């Protein structure tokens, strides 16, 4: 049953999870205010978002391994401390570099909070109560993403942008103090940490993203741009070679020999790339081209994110009846249609049109997002043995996060190409090809699913398969 100790654990983990997930999208509506405050360009705006996401994605798997080795409570609370400090540093930032560094610290903390909050919850509850507990955990995660733009807008209505970071500080302090007292310590199977693998992956990804984001500004023939992209690719190749040689690799590359597994990973990468690259620019469009306030933009984006929150749990029911492939394909198709719809409206009307013109496409895209995330997670778990479910889940989350980073880089690269943006209508002209590139990524993801994902209905694994040792990990 839901004992007092388990309820306390659920409250602490879900509160910190909400804080971390909120930070994924709450920053979007504050970007124009930060840009004005720092007098910076769109390249720095990308890094304000990507610094968090890149650190988060690269360290998801290592954080989980550290939790198994040194104690899940210890690493989780370390993540809470880092996230809280990163939030405080972000609020104190007076220039772009300080904010980027602070966002990296936040991302490192978030990489411990999200996976280990899941592990703590799944380990603490018995099998007959675990599904209900995980439902609460998933709901809080979705809620944090969905209300991020709205909460960001509410905070910024008459308040400085720094406040969106300062609200995390009291939550983090309380979560740490109560967690220190109430969370049980748990450990899993000790595994060595592949430090060289982490460094090769992190530096390689950083080099490629840096080159993509600065190519337009510095010139594609610039020595540092070419060197950054080339060096990044070489390091990623070395990462793959090292992982094949390493006795305890960061990632089991042999899992990618399974067709469904590889297809789901590629789909997740392209899905987040297309949708989050587009959301990044659409948020700027609502404020900078159409003139809405941060609150006005956040409230309007609820037409999108609210549908995601509603559709996600329904997708879980539909997957068991219609199969992963069908529901995931439908979700990807709807998102691509939504982005094409935005492109048609903006391309035809410019920046001056009633918001109602794009509401139907926001509903379609948001519903498609909700229909995509659940079958994608189910499909990944169903494509590997139970013993590899934990790693598969971590790699899938990391791949999707990295897809979001690359999507923002590519869509912004296309957005900045061509003539200078001197008016709202010029902004509209530039955003259309970016949105179409996002739709192209989603279309490519759809093709991958249709060609490479099996037609059989994927079995839906319960969370005990993710933590096979959960029953022995905690005693109440």
pLDDT in tens, 55-66: 887 888 788 778
Decide if 33 is inside a domain: yes
Reported pTM? 0.78
- pLDDT grade for 104, boundaries at 50, 70 and 90: very high
> Are 223 and 340 in the same domain?
no
- pLDDT grade for 361, boundaries at 50, 70 and 90: very high
Which tokens sit at 130?
């675990």
What is the pLDDT, as a whole number, of residue 170? 93
Give the count of domains, the chain. Answer: 3
What is the rounded CA–CA span in Å between residue 214 and residue 223?
Answer: 12
> Are 305 and 232 in the same domain?
no
Q: Is the pLDDT at 467 greater than 70, yes or no?
A: no
Average pLDDT over residues 324-348: 95
Mean pLDDT estimate for the chain: 83
| Contact in structure between 353 and 345 (CB atoms under 8 Å) | yes
Decide if 26 is inside a domain: yes
Q: Is the pLDDT at 79 greater than 90, yes or no?
A: yes
- pLDDT grade for 135, boundaries at 50, 70 and 90: low
Which tokens sit at 256?
């990618």
CATH code at position 305: 1.20.1250.20
Domain boundary, last residue among 249, 274, 294:
249
What is the pLDDT, as a whole number, of residue 457? 47
* CB within 8 Å of 59: residues ≥ 6 apart: 107, 108, 111, 112, 198
Residue recorded with tokens 């654990």: 9
> Are 146 and 220 in the same domain?
no
> Are 220 and 309 in the same domain?
no
Identify how many contiguous H helices and E strands the chain contains and give both numbers: 16, 0
| Contact in structure between 151 and 298 (CB atoms under 8 Å) | yes
Higher pLDDT, 474 or 204: 204
> Are 139 and 209 in the same domain?
no
> Are 237 and 275 in the same domain?
no
Average pLDDT over residues 390-417: 82
Decide if 32 is inside a domain: yes
Decide if 50 is inside a domain: yes
What is the rounded CA–CA span in Å between residue 181 and residue 200?
Answer: 37
What is the pLDDT, as a whole number, of residue 458? 42
Average pLDDT over residues 348-361: 93
What is the pLDDT, as a whole number, of residue 190? 66
Decide if 356 is inside a domain: yes
What is the pLDDT, as a whole number, of residue 139? 66
> Are 146 and 115 in the same domain?
yes
Handedness of CA 48, 237, 251, 378 (dihedral sign): positive
Decide if 190 is inside a domain: no
- pLDDT grade for 28, boundaries at 50, 70 and 90: confident
Decide if 150 is inside a domain: yes
Cα 409 to chain center, whole Å?
Answer: 14
Q: Is the pLDDT at 250 greater than 80, yes or no?
A: no
Residue 386 Cα distances to 56, 257, 262, angstroms: 25, 16, 17
What is the rounded CA–CA span in Å between residue 116 and residue 96?
Answer: 30
pLDDT in tens, 286-316: 988 998 887 888 888 888 878 887 887 788 7
Q: Is the pLDDT at 281 greater than 60, yes or no?
A: yes
Range from 122-131, 275-284, 340-349 that averages highest in pLDDT: 340-349
Domain boundary, last residue among 204, 227, 249:
249
Decide if 9 is inside a domain: yes
At residue 388, φ and ψ (nearest 5 deg) are: -105, 5
> Are 124 and 167 in the same domain?
yes
pLDDT in tens, 136-192: 776 677 677 667 777 777 777 778 889 889 989 999 999 999 999 888 887 766 667
The boundaries of the domain holding residue 207 are: 195-249
Average pLDDT over residues 354-362: 94
Residue 337 Cα distances to 367, 419, 440, angstroms: 11, 28, 10
> Are 340 and 290 in the same domain?
yes
> Are 261 and 244 in the same domain?
no
> Are 333 and 382 in the same domain?
yes
Domain boundary, last residue among 184, 212, 239:
184
> Are 203 and 272 in the same domain?
no
Cα 49 to chain center, whole Å?
Answer: 10
Higher pLDDT, 88 or 142: 88
- pLDDT grade for 455, boundaries at 50, 70 and 90: low
């Amino acid at each position: 049953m839901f004992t007092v100790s388990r309820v306390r654990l659920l409250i602490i983990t879900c509160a910190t999870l909400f804080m971390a997930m909120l930070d994924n999208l709450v920053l979007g509506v504050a970007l124009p205010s930060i840009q004005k405050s720092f007098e910076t360009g769109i390249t720095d705006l990308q890094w304000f978002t990507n610094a968090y996401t890149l650190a988060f994605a690269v360290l998801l798997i290592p954080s989980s391994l550290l939790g198994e080795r040194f104690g899940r409570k210890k690493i989780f609370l370390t993540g809470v401390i880092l996230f809280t400090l990163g939030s405080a540093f972000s609020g104190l930032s007076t220039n772009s570099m300080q904010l980027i560094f602070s966002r990296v610290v936040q991302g490192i903390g978030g990489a411990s909070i999200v996976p280990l909050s899941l592990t703590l919850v799944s380990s603490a509850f018995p099998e007959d109560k675990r599904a209900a507990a995980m439902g609460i955990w998933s709901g809080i995660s979705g809620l944090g993403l969905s209300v991020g733009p709205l909460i960001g807008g509410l905070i910024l209505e008459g308040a400085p942008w720094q406040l969106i970071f300062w609200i995390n500080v009291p939550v983090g302090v309380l979560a740490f103090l109560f967690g220190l007292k109430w969370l049980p310590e748990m450990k899993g199977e000790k595994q060595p940490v592949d430090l060289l693998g982490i460094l090769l992956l992190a530096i390689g990804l950083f080099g490629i993203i840096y080159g993509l984001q600065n190519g337009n500004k510095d010139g594609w023939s610039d020595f540092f741009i070419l060197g950054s992209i080339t060096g990044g690719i070489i390091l990623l190749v070395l990462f793959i070679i090292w992982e094949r040689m390493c006795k305890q690799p960061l990632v089991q590359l042999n899992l990618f020999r399974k067709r469904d597994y590889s297809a789901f990973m590629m789909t997740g990468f392209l899905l987040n790339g297309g949708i989050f690259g587009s959301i990044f620019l659409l948020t700027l469009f609502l404020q900078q081209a159409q003139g809405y306030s941060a609150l006005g933009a956040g409230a309007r984006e609820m037409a999108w994110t609210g549908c995601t929150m509603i559709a996600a749990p329904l997708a879980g029911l539909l997957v068991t009846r219609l199969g992963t492939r069908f529901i995931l394909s439908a979700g990807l198709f709807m998102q691509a249609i939504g982005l094409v719809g935005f492109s048609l409206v903006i391309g035809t009307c410019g920046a001056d049109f009633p918001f109602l013109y794009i509401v139907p496409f926001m509903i379609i895209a948001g519903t498609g997002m909700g229909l995509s995330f659940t079958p994608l997670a189910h499909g990944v778990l169903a494509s590997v043995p139970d013993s590899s479910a934990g790693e598969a889940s971590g790699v899938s989350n990391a791949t999707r996060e990295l897809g979001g980073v690359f999507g923002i880089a590519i869509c912004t690269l296309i957005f900045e190409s061509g003539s200078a943006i001197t008016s709202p209508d010029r902004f509209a002209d530039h955003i259309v090809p970016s949105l179409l590139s996002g739709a192209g990524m989603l279309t490519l993801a759809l093709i991958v699913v249709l060609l490479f994902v099996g037609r059989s209905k994927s079995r839906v694994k319960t969370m005990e398969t993710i933590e096979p040792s959960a029953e022995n990990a905690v005693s109440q």
